[in-house]
Structure 1
Amino acid sequence: MPGKIKIPGTVFLDGNELEDALIYIHVKGYSRARVTHIDIESRALKSVIRPRHSSYPEVNWSLSTSIDVNGHEIVIVSERLAEIIHLNGNLYVGGKGKGIFLGFHREQISEMEKFASKIGIKPKKLNLK
Structure 2
Amino acid sequence: MPDGKIPLQAEVYLDGEKVEAKVFLHVKGYKRARVTHIDVEGDKIRGLLRPRHSVYPLVEWKGNEVIFPINEHKIRIIIPEITLNFNGNLYVGGKGKGIFLGFHRNEIRQLEEIAKQKGVEPIGRESKA
TM over 0.5: yes
Question: Residue 71 of structure 2 aligns with which residue?
Answer: 70
When structure 1 is superposed on structure 2, of 21-30 and 61-70 the one drifting more is: 61-70
Aligned to 1:91: 90
Structure 1 unaligned segments of length 5 or more: list them. none
The aligned residue for residue 5 of structure 2 is 4
Q: Which has the higher strand share?
A: 2
Higher helix share: 1
Aligned equivalent of 2:59: 59
5+ residue gaps in structure 2? none
Give TM-score, length-normalised by structure 1. 0.90
Q: Offset of 1:60 from its aligned partner?
A: 1.6
Query: What is the CA distance between 1:47 and its match in structure 2?
Result: 2.4
For 2:103, the aligned partner's letter is: F
Q: How does 1:27-66 map to 2 (within 5 A)?
A: 27-62=27-62, 63-66=64-67
Aligned pairs, number:
123
- Sequence identity percentage: 50
Partners of 2:47 and 2:17 in 1: CA distance = 14
- For residue 12 of structure 1, report the CA deviation from its aligned partner: 0.7
Cross-structure match for 1:18 = 19
Tell me how large the CA RMSD over aligned residues is: 1.3
1:110 corresponds in structure 2 to 109
Distance 1:120 1:80 in 2: 14
CA distance in 1, matches of 2:65, 2:86: 13
Shift of 1:75: 0.6
Q: Deviations over 1:51-101 (max 9, x none)?
A: 1110001112023321101110011012222x2x23111111000000000
The AA in structure 2 aligned to 1:79 is P
